[in-house]
Amino acid sequence: MNRIRKISSVLMTAVFVTALCAAMLIFIFSKKDDVSYYENRSLADLPEFTWDGALDGSLFEELGSYVKDHAPARDGFLAATTWTDINVLRRPVVNDIYLGDGVLLPYFPHEEIDTVEIAEKAADAADRFYERVRLAESFGGEYYFVAMPCQYTCYADKYPSYLNNRDEYLTAARDAFLGELAERGVTTLDAGELYGTMGRPDYFTSTVDHHFGIMGAYETYKAMLSLHMEKTGDVLDVLEEDEFEVESLPNKYVGSRLRKIFGMWESDEKLGIIVPKDDVPYTRYNNGYNVASTVVTLPESEEDDVLYTAYMGGDIAHTVIDTGRDELPTVLIYGESFTNAIETFAWHGFNEMHSLDLRYAEEGAYEALIEEVKPDIVICIRDYSVLLETEGYGH
């Protein structure tokens, strides 16, 4: 018995010390990544030494974050933990994603609905928006606001009763905000209502990403232009269904929700793109620089994953698609990533299409662009969840 204890103690000591020392050496000599793909964020940098930081401890805190972000085998352990949570422990929510019946949905804590607060916030937000409307109109443009349903709004009934599907809050926020805009005479389109009237809201959105699918983007685009034509009597060159083909990319579509769980969920959803039959030449500029004339960034091979960022090459502060047809109107589409899928084909019927992503554009970019370009049509696209927000994406 003593012999067994002796041998096992020596072995235990050796394994424990060796493992820790090896991990230290691996950390020191391993190549450090800048970005975590699955977490979709930059990893912490090695902090610079400052006396103030050392005195108040913030230096060591930053150093701790750096070590945490670059710990040996971090990605492998993250994936293993996710796999265990899904397959062994069978948690309903993994990495803030609810693994529903055929769809991945975000987890939200239960929330209190304060209708008075929502009404006040809606009025404030509408006031802020209205300034942009007035500016666009003062330069002769027609302004439209499009409210997009969140992916989870289209699958509200897929949540179990013990989880919050945010339906109550989002309905209240949307109704209040669109009501406020209508009171100010702004023409609005509720894409959620549109999908609802078409019978299958889930058809237009994604099961693995927080954005809509390509057909959702198309129906929104068509409704947007119809709204303008109804309002002004103008005739626009709308891309009709017999003028394009929908192509499904063969790659694995790793939507934002699927990415959060390391792609560990069976999905046959493919990323669709609209390919117009009529070839219209155009020039593209990203933030003022001439770039390749393409609106879909395809992965290098069929084996590679494809993301929503394939549309328009991802989020870019200012994009211009110039078809050089001066007789056609100019359009500005702004908002955030929801505009990307629409933009891959919306440019087709315009002289110039400008796209502004307010998250990346400098302050005052919208105002400067309106004054410079004087677009005939201005379309703002926001999803339900940020309508009343004044921070982050809602700003």
Query: Which listed residue (45, 50, 67, 120) binds another protein by CB under 8 A?
Result: 67
CB of 24 to another protein, least distance (A): 5
CB atoms within 10 A of CB 287: 12
Q: How far apart are CA 355 and CA 335, in angstroms?
A: 8
Binding residue for another protein (CB under 8 A) from 8, 287, 294, 390?
8
Phi, psi of 91 (to 5 degrees): -75, 145
CB 199, min distance to another protein, A:
30
Site string for another protein, 345-374 (x = CB under 8 A): ------------------------------
| Residue 77 binding another protein, by CB under 8 A | yes
Q: Which residues pair with 143 in a beta bridge?
A: 378
Stretch that binds another protein, among 1-9, 141-149, 312-320, 348-356 (CB under 8 A): 1-9
Rounded Cα–Cα distance for residues 117 and 389 (Å): 12
Among 32, 57, 203, 241, binds another protein (CB under 8 A): 57
* Sign of the CA dihedral with 81 first, then 82, 86, and 91 last: positive
Which residues, numbered 126-165, are part of the site for another protein (CB under 8 A)?
161-163
- CB of 355 within 8 A of CB of 333? yes
| Contact residue for another protein among 36, 81, 286, 351 (CB under 8 A) | 81
- DSSP assignments along 67-118, one per residue: HHHT-TTHHHHHHHHHHIIIIIS--SEETTEEE-SS-EEE--------HHHH
**Is 230 among the residues that bind another protein (CB under 8 A)?**
no
Ordered alpha helix ranges (H), 96-244 = 115-138, 151-154, 167-183, 191-197, 214-232
CB of 15 to another protein, least distance (A): 7
Q: Is 27 in the site for another protein (CB under 8 A)?
A: yes
Q: How many residues bind another protein (CB under 8 A)?
A: 47
One residue of 37, 45, 73, 293 binding another protein per CB under 8 A: 73
Under the criterion CB under 8 A, does residue 93 sit at the interface with another protein? yes
* Residue 31 contacts another protein per CB under 8 A: no
Is 54 a residue that touches another protein (CB under 8 A)?
yes
Whole-number Å distance between alpha carbons of 373 and 285 = 14
| Alpha-carbon distance values, 23 to 30, 61, 75, 275 (Å) | 10, 20, 15, 51
Q: Is 60 in the site for another protein (CB under 8 A)?
A: yes
Residue from 251, 160, 158 nearest 207 by CA: 158
CA 179 to CA 122: how far, in whole Å? 9
- 91 or 395, CB closer to another protein? 91
In the complex, the residues that contact another protein under the rule CB under 8 A are: 1, 4-6, 8-13, 15-17, 20-21, 23-24, 27, 54-57, 60, 63-64, 67-68, 71-74, 77-78, 80-82, 89, 91-93, 109-112, 161-163
